[in-house]
Structure 1
Amino acid sequence: MKLTILGCYAATPRTFTNPTSQILEIKNRLFLIDCGEGTQVQLRRNKIKFSKINHIFISHLHGDHFFGLIGLISTFSLLNRTTDLHVHGPKGIKEIIMLQLRLSNSWTNYDLFFHELDSKESEIIFEDDKVTVKTIPLKHRVYTNGFLFEEKIGERKLNLDAVQNYEIDSCYYQKIKNGKDITLEDGKIIENEQLSFDPIPAKSYAFCSDTVYHEDVITIIKNADVLYHEATFLDSEENLASKTLHCTAKQAATIALKSNVKQLILGHYSTRYENIEMFKEEAITIFPEILLADDGKSFEF
């Protein structure tokens, strides 16, 4: 599981900082989460293949989280994309994008699908044989979701020494990987645990975009391997955080602690602060495993 931060600052792009956008690579899937202004430039800068992005998840309709979407969609056409593109986001995202395409007479040469969200309850919005994605309802000034990405448990691993010791034919290997016991020709049953090892533990990543301190998320993200949580302000601006429905670094750390996650990544910093290390210094007093997002930084888990 690899996370690449394309942008992690609040409000507006600046010379050396970008608004929210990130790429999650999980089980060989590449998901784009939010698409702030400048996302496609950051994709090129970080050498991420545009063609591998088939699903985009937009948390909410504030500009610093989706103003880069129309540009990326248009660039896909210029690159002669033919693969389907799926956009998952709040109700209204289709109207916004289609209006821009219609008035500019710029239609895509690939199929563009919108999956609009309006539920205030957590729901599964994407699932295939390896990954499940569900929403994390948040509390902000507009309808907002975070997203929980969960790997599905993979196949068991063959214990080749044991398999060869019992002279089991290779045609039964997949059955063993699927967790089944094997019956030998003499009728003896060999339990699967003797023939295979447990699969690699499934990982999970929780993305909590703009939100006020909101403990309702805890039951959804409980025990996640990694939590990215907005930390727009420091504790000294807690009143401003409450007024604008954002979080402080301490509040993000408290959510991480109560959710029993393994690691917390802070991001969505207000550009009023000159040194993001202050966010870690504040959060680590509550929760020990703190990482700081920054543009262009990658994390492998």
Structure 2
Amino acid sequence: MSFQLKILGSNSATPAFGRYPTSQLLTVGSHYFLIDCGEGCQMQLSRYRARTNRISQIFISHLHGDHYFGLIGLLNTLSLVGRKNSLTLYGPPGLNDVLTAHFRVSQAVLGFPVHFVELRATEPTVIYENAQLSVTTFPVQHRIACWGFLFREQPKPRRINKDTMPADLSVEDIIALKNGQDVVNTDGSIRYQNEKFTLPPRKSRSYAYCADTRYFETLAEWVSEVDLLYHETTFMDQERELAEQRYHSTTLQAAEVAKQAKVETLLIGHFSSRYRDLSPLLEEAKTVFSNTSLAIEGQDFTIPE
């Protein structure tokens, strides 16, 4: 099953140098999850040939325009192209009012139902779950109410060891072994001991999205050991005082979170328009956390099984 993140927008505040405001598309199997929806998001989805009809969940971190100004246009387009399937929108208090006011004034009627789930969590809270995945939201520290999102695969079953698998295993036996159970005889004695015929389950893959936030230590606990961590990096570290004033993070602060959390890979994004060349930000972050990459438009980051 695929687990892939595509960067649609990486800039903060305004478009600049070919960079769009924040937006990302996460694909897990056949499920598409849109994370934030900055201005131009639908243009980017079209540019990269994303199958927008498969987007079933949209997560909006907060109500600064560079994270949701593209939402009204996207919803209208989905309706115009004939979408009928329902869509669930997760967002801060007030977002539903903004959308309702716009559609009322414009007399626009969407051709599909939109379910709104209001974010109010004050600690990590599961807000979505299916057979393959759970999504946990957690509060971050920005100038207005803001949340991050953690996408994690559900625990996987144990694997049958083909090198030791008996020839007479039934389907029921295989299911029991994958569920971590021993296969027993009618008298209760063990016929096939689980540990002898199975391998440990594969690791459940995970991605954490840390939206606009200043540095705070608890965040590392909430995203501990994820495979892929996106953390905003609006400024280089020489602007640490400015970052603190504006409730943003610097390169070294994002890298420190990744180091403390013991993540596999760090993505940095939400770049200030003062930086045309992003290589100095990458180099600075790597001094603390070497496995760091830039979240650049059009790039895919795949987490292998």
TMscore range, shorter length: over 0.9
After superposition, the C-alpha distances for 1:132-155 in whole angstroms (9 at most, x for unaligned) are: 111121111110001111111122
Q: Distance in 2 between matches of 1:173 and 1:110?
A: 42
Partner residue, 1:66? 68
Report the residue type matching 1:189 in the other structure. R
Equivalent residues of 2:121, 2:138 under 8 A apart: no
Which 10-residue stretch deviates more, 239-248 or 193-202?
Answer: 193-202
Pick one of 276, 283, 286 that aligns with 2:285. Answer: 283
Q: Distance in 2 between matches of 1:188 and 1:4?
A: 48
Partner residue, 2:160? 158
Identity value in percent: 40
Partner residue, 2:239? 237
CA displacement at 1:185 relative to structure 2: 6.9
Q: Distance in 1 between matches of 2:143 and 2:233?
A: 16
Unaligned runs of 5+ in 1: none
After superposition, the C-alpha distances for 1:178-221 in whole angstroms (9 at most, x for unaligned) are: 22211257854211222222222101111001011121212211
Equivalent residues of 2:209, 2:231 under 8 A apart: yes
Which 10-residue stretch deviates more, 250-259 or 24-33?
Answer: 24-33
Pick one of 79, 89, 95 that aligns with 2:81. Answer: 79
After superposition, the C-alpha distances for 1:145-176 in whole angstroms (9 at most, x for unaligned) are: 011111111222223453334x1223432222
Cα RMSD (Å) of the superposition?
Answer: 1.6
1:127 aligns with 2:129: yes
Equivalent residues of 2:121, 2:137 under 8 A apart: no
Report the residue type matching 1:4 in the other structure. K
Matches within 5 A, 1:110-189: 110-165=112-167, 167-184=168-185, 187-189=189-191
Equivalent residues of 1:134, 1:147 under 8 A apart: yes
Q: Distance in 2 between matches of 1:237 and 1:218?
A: 22
Equivalent residues of 1:184, 1:190 under 8 A apart: no
Q: Distance in 2 between matches of 1:103 and 1:132?
A: 36
Report the residue type matching 1:159 in the other structure. N
CA distance change for structure 1 residues 14 and 281 in 2, over 3 Å: closer, same or farther? closer
Q: Distance in 2 between matches of 1:298 and 1:119?
A: 30
Q: Distance in 1 between matches of 2:292 and 2:17?
A: 26
1:217 aligns with 2:184: no
1:29 aligns with 2:31: yes
Partner residue, 1:204? 206
Aligned length: 300
Unaligned runs of 5+ in 2: none
Partner residue, 1:249? 251
Partner residue, 2:55? 53
Q: Give the TM-score of the pair, scaled to structure 1.
A: 0.95
After superposition, the C-alpha distances for 1:64-86 in whole angstroms (9 at most, x for unaligned) are: 00000111111111111111100
Runs of 4+ in 1 over 4 A off after TM superposition: 184-188
CA displacement at 1:222 relative to structure 2: 1.1
Q: Distance in 2 between matches of 1:224 and 1:93?
A: 29
Q: Give the TM-score of the pair, scaled to structure 2.
A: 0.94
Partner residue, 2:9? 7
Which 10-residue stretch deviates more, 175-184 or 220-229?
Answer: 175-184
After superposition, the C-alpha distances for 1:248-275 in whole angstroms (9 at most, x for unaligned) are: 1011111111111111101000011121
